[in-house]
Structure 1
Amino acid sequence: METLLIRVAPYQSIFFLTAARLMPLAPNLFPRTAGFFPRWIVVMGATLYFTIVQGPREVPQDVFVPALVINFLVGTVLSVGLQIVLGLWLSLGAVFDTLRNPNPASGEVPGLQLEASPTAAMFALLAVVYFLSVAGPLQVALALGHQLRHLPPEAPWAFFQNQHWLSSTLRLASLLFTTVALFTLPVMFVLLFMEFSVGFLAVWLPQTQAYFLMMPVRALLTLLLLFVLNPLILERIGAATLWMIRNIMQLS
């Protein structure tokens, strides 16, 4: 037991710093109905894995507390970013429902415990399916590992190393928000076109359930559009991430 403690001791500080960065992401790891225990298991497992991969690190006592705080802030920013993207996605679906009905019926999004309009709920489910179909969890794990290599948890001064960090951060934010625009605007135009198509079909064939008939067509077009946009979106996000690492978080 004493031998085990001696071997674990060099990893203790880096374990706590890595956990501080990953903890804010826990609410986004599973549907909210999964509960606290599965999220805790995943976060602890990921923290342990990344700690072992990083290896033992020397963390001076005078920078441990600032590093702990900054790592928690980094994880919080990532978590808020995911929530913003999900909120934009749900809001876009709600906008299309209001085109048909000023007061659309709302329902619970399965697994998310969120009240949303029918189209917003469909968007949320489509986003989950698409995320899983492109091996999203694996990509997130690879991205976190890449981030932890270039922005080590024991380096709290990395954010302030560059004297132009504020303008660089603003530029990065604009890049990420234009990425969201590139992702949502084409989908919005496709769905708007489909809404007009539903209206024309209802006029030409009044005995048919136009909305019901067009639902699979709309879902197929949206999915095809996402597959077309995916390479562009990933390239832009990747470029922004690398640019951020090289210019904002440059380590001495």
Structure 2
Amino acid sequence: MTIGLMTNKGLLYLYEYYSGGGMSQYYFEEYNVLGDSSVEIWRGQSPGENTPPKTPAKPTGPVSGEAGLEYTFTTSTTDPQNNDVYYMVYWGDVISEWLGPYNSGDTVSLTHTWNAVGDYTIMVKAKDTLDLESGWSDPAQISIIALPRLEIGNLTSSFGSISAQIRNVGAGDATNVDWSITLDGKLVFLGKETTGTFTKIMPGFSPKAKTGFVFGFGRVDVLVIVGDIQKTATATLFGPMVLKIVE
């Protein structure tokens, strides 16, 4: 529906359109007296009209990270009618579903994991409870790189030795990894300290660091050091036999 009339300022038009939220909404446009629609001098909205949320703030979060780890970005927006809002996130590799609802004006935390190395763009848009959508936010950037991440697994024993499993749970190769296993006890005669170096531990691989021949008696403290991480345990020796390891 369109209604036009003359006023002392020019031509006034009343437009009716379907908002998509189940209601007919209205707005006004007023032009110069010649009716030239290319010269718009005033436009207003009818009282009670629903309008979309404002464009969300640029997402805030880390600028670099490691493949396979989860990272958090925050953003916020407000809705002119104070309706609840939902967010959709473009993560650079996928687009999320609508997330929410959240209160208008609240800062929200959004999480994602990138599994491939690369540079990614993150943008957010919002919608209200009547499905009116904002534009996309300004983009944020994150660079995902492949790094090794080492863990010391279970300690096990066999006749005359103690072994420690070394796991690379990261996304990059670990190279020239120094390790040591030290036994501290009053009656440790052989195998007090063993050292070594792994030339390369690829992602997903779990080699074992193993002591030399161990011989002693009684309780000993076991210290395993791999790179800049370490693990402690206790063991009981009876000659070359390692009877019990407690981590």
Regarding TM over 0.5, the answer is: no
Structure with higher strand content: 2
- Report 1 or 2 for greater relative contact order, CA contacts < 8 Å, sequence distance ≥ 6: 1
Q: TM-score scaled to structure 2, two decimals?
A: 0.23
Structure with higher helix content: 1
Tell me which structure has the larger Cα radius of gyration. Answer: 2
Q: TM-score scaled to structure 1, two decimals?
A: 0.23
